[in-house]
Amino acid sequence: MNELLSYTYEFIDTRFDLTSELTDDSNQCYGEDVAKHLYQLFKNDYKNTEIVEEDWGWSVIFDAENDNEKGTIALCIYPWGFLDDLKGEKEYLWRIRIVFHKGQKLLGLIKLNKQALLPTSLANNISNKITPSITKLIGMHKGLVWQ
């Protein structure tokens, strides 16, 4: 994945579980409730919206098109840790990496998905859906390299 082509959305929201014990029969990563929340936000406006259980966590994937560009967007969900607020209470920090894969045909026959820069208007549409639905937005960064 080319980090320079993706967006990172950081937010704080204690509604999403980051502390319960994960069971052996579940994905061993937090974020399923965030994925379900995002799925509800996007399922009516984008085709083929689905929650995908990954070996590293959770993602929500859907088809999107804007102007002349068609592709697939993946909202990759990562629990990022805890912050202490001014009262000394824990706040849950989450990151969503937004990745756009553009479909391309090779010799007119085979469709390949290549990571591309997310069009600004699609990034704005995503932000306009997510921002009102969370407790506290930290930021949306283009090309953030995670350390």
Question: Which domain does 69 fall in, by range?
Answer: 3-142
131 vs 106: CA distance, rounded Å:
37
57 vs 123: CA distance, rounded Å:
22
Given a cut of 90, whether residue 36 has pLDDT beyond it is yes
Q: What is the pLDDT of residue 51?
A: 96
Q: Is residue 147 part of a domain?
A: no
Q: Which of 51-55, 99-103, 129-133 has the lowest mean pLDDT?
A: 99-103
* β-pair type (110-116, 47-53): unpaired
Q: Is residue 45 part of a domain?
A: yes
Given a cut of 70, whether residue 146 has pLDDT beyond it is no
Residues 85-115 pLDDT 10s: 666 677 888 999 999 988 765 665 666 678 8
Q: 112-144 as b/e, with b when 16 or more CB fall inside 10 Å?
A: eeebbbbbeebbebbeeebeeebeeebebeeeb
Q: Please report, to the nearest 10 degrees, the dihedral formed by the alpha carbons of residues 71, 72, 78, 80 taken in order.
A: 20
Most confident of 24-28, 51-55, 63-67, 84-88: 51-55
Q: Is residue 118 part of a domain?
A: yes
Q: What is the pLDDT of residue 116?
A: 84
Q: Is residue 29 part of a domain?
A: yes
Overall average pLDDT of the 4-30 stretch: 81
More confident site: 113 or 120: 120
Q: Is residue 73 part of a domain?
A: yes
Q: Is residue 90 part of a domain?
A: yes
Q: Is residue 117 part of a domain?
A: yes
80 vs 9: CA distance, rounded Å:
11
Q: What is the pLDDT of residue 75?
A: 95
Identify the DSSP state of 31: -
pTM here? 0.84
**Crossing angle (nearest 10°) for helices 32-42 and 120-130:** 110
| Token pair 């994937």 in the structure block, residue | 61
Q: Is residue 124 part of a domain?
A: yes
Number of independent structural domains in the chain:
1
Q: What is the pLDDT of residue 40?
A: 97
